[in-house]
């Protein structure tokens, strides 16, 4: 990457890039940061005092998943243990993917034999999804930024099973300013969304755990190799965001008189033709299915 191609990094790195997220939250010396983030998300429902990193990716499936995965065994203050998976996941088939990952976490607990003695002693399992820049699938126009999902009775709303949970954090809906921060969750979401644009630690966040976070996240403290990795990741994010915005504008203009479905097809076509996205990238960016993208690509091939 030449100097003219390099994005301009701020004082602090963007914590939502894969490189940054792993650096800040994905190492044993920094697990107190991840514990504090998780405790903020649970808002008192759980109080994690320790965690262990398990496998961080699924064999044979890493390329398709994309993003960062933390598979964690957590210990609460009362000694109970439960499993959390933290995802920065792809867009395509988000709900089904998360259901699959949650189910896999459960099935992995089963012993190969002696099921009767085990008696299905399944630990609690939670899948936490950090959604950077995209909306909750089929979420309508809800402006909530935290979606806490469990199994419930469709007719009464009564919780049927509370030990499998999905927590989606829709960061684009978090709009609080520094002066409006009231809780630890507010602080963490504000940091995740805004840290790369800040020049100093906000007054509300001048607490030891956040001071450690900002100290680790200083761009100037990266090695030369780390800066190159970060700059490449940042450029890729900015390029993708720019491509998506352009494709959406073009698609919306073309789709006004053609209907929503054709508008989506125009977005996908722009991502393929103008930016060279492959099927997986186009599906993620446009929030459509792989099959939909393949159909658009096939139609484009026939027009040649």
Tens of pLDDT, residue by residue, the chain (304 residues): 544 455 567 899 999 888 899 999 999 999 999 999 999 999 999 999 999 998 655 443 444 445 678 889 999 999 989 898 887 755 567 888 888 888 988 888 888 877 788 888 889 999 999 988 777 776 655 788 999 999 999 999 999 999 999 999 999 899 999 999 999 999 999 999 999 999 999 999 999 999 999 999 999 999 999 999 999 888 877 777 776 666 666 655 555 444 456 667 777 887 787 667 788 777 777 767 788 888 888 888 877 6
Taking the CA atoms of residue 71, residue 75, residue 80 and residue 82 in that order, the dihedral angle to the nearest 10 degrees is -10
The 3-state DSSP class for residue 167 equals strand
The verdict on 285 and 186 lying in the same domain is: no
- The answer to whether residue 3 sits within a structural domain is no
Please state, in angstroms and rounded to a whole number, the distance separating the CA atoms of residues 195 and 9: 11
One domain for residues 230 and 264? yes
Domain end (from 193, 221, 249): 221
46 assigned to some structural domain: yes
pLDDT at 199: 93
The answer to whether residue 199 is domain-embedded is yes
Residues paired with 128 in a beta bridge: 86, 167
pLDDT for residue 272: 81
Residue 108 is predicted with a pLDDT of 87
Structural domain contains residue 4 = no
Q: Which domain holds residue 207?
A: 9-221
Domain identity same for 242 and 184: no
- Is residue 123 situated within a structural domain? yes
CB atoms within 10 A of CB 227: 16
Please indicate, yes or no, whether residues 272 and 208 belong to a single structural domain of this protein: no
C-alpha–C-alpha distance, residues 80 and 74, integer Å: 8
pLDDT, position 89:
58
Per-residue tokens: 3: 């100097």
Boundary of a domain, candidates 189, 205, 221 = 221
Position 56 scores a pLDDT of 55
Q: What is the pLDDT of residue 300?
A: 81
What is the structure's pLDDT at 141?
A: 57
Tally of domains in the chain: 2
246: in domain: yes
Q: Which residues contact 6 (CB under 8 A, 6 or more apart)?
A: 231, 235
**CA separation (Å) from 43 to 94, 185, 229?**
24, 7, 34
The reported pLDDT for the residue numbered 279 is 83
* pLDDT value, residue 46: 93
Both 212 and 294 in one domain: the answer is: no
Domain C-terminal end among 221, 240, 261: 221
Q: Looking at the structure, do residues 105 and 211 belong to the same domain, yes or no?
A: yes
* Residue 1 falls inside a structural domain: no
């040649």: which residue's tokens?
A: 304
Q: Is 2 contained in some domain?
A: no
Query: Do both 230 and 291 map to the same domain?
Result: yes
If asked whether residues 56 and 204 sit together in one domain, one would say yes
Examine the domain organization and report whether 238 and 268 are in the same domain: yes
Polymer length of the chain: 304
Q: Are residues 207 and 228 in the same domain?
A: no
Q: What is the pLDDT of residue 257?
A: 42
Is 259 within 8 Å of 274 (Cβ atoms)?
Answer: no
């Amino acid at each position: 990457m030449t100097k003219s191609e390099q994005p301009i990094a701020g004082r602090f790195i963007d914590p939502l890039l894969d490189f940054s997220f792993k650096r800040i939250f994905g190492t044993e010396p920094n697990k107190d940061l991840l514990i504090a983030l998780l405790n903020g998300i649970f808002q008192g429902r759980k109080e994690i005092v320790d965690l262990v990193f398990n496998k961080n990716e699924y064999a044979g499936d890493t390329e398709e998943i994309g993003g960062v995965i933390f598979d964690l065994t957590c210990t609460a203050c009362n000694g109970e243990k439960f499993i959390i998976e933290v995802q920065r996941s792809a867009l395509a088939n988000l709900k089904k993917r998360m259901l699959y990952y949650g189910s896999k976490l459960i099935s992995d607990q089963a012993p190969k034999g002696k099921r009767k003695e085990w008696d299905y002693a399944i630990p609690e399992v939670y899948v936490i999804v950090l959604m950077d820049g995209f909306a909750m699938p089929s979420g309508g126009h809800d402006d909530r930024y935290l979606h806490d999902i469990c199994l419930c009775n469709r007719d009464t709303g009564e919780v049927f099973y509370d030990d499998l949970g999905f927590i989606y954090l829709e960061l684009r809906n978090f709009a609080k300013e520094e002066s409006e921060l009231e809780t630890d969750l507010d602080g963490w979401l504000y940091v995740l969304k805004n840290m790369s644009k800040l020049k100093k630690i906000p007054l509300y966040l001048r607490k030891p755990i956040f001071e450690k976070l900002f100290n680790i996240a200083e761009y100037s403290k990266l090695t030369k190799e780390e800066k190159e990795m970060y700059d490449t990741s940042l450029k890729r994010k900015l390029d993708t965001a720019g491509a998506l915005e352009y494709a959406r504008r073009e698609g919306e203009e073309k789709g006004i008189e053609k209907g929503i479905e054709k508008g989506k097809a125009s977005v996908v076509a722009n991502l393929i033709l103008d930016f060279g996205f492959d099927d997986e990238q186009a599906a993620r960016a446009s929030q459509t299915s792989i099959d939909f993208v393949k159909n658009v690509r096939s139609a484009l091939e026939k027009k040649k």
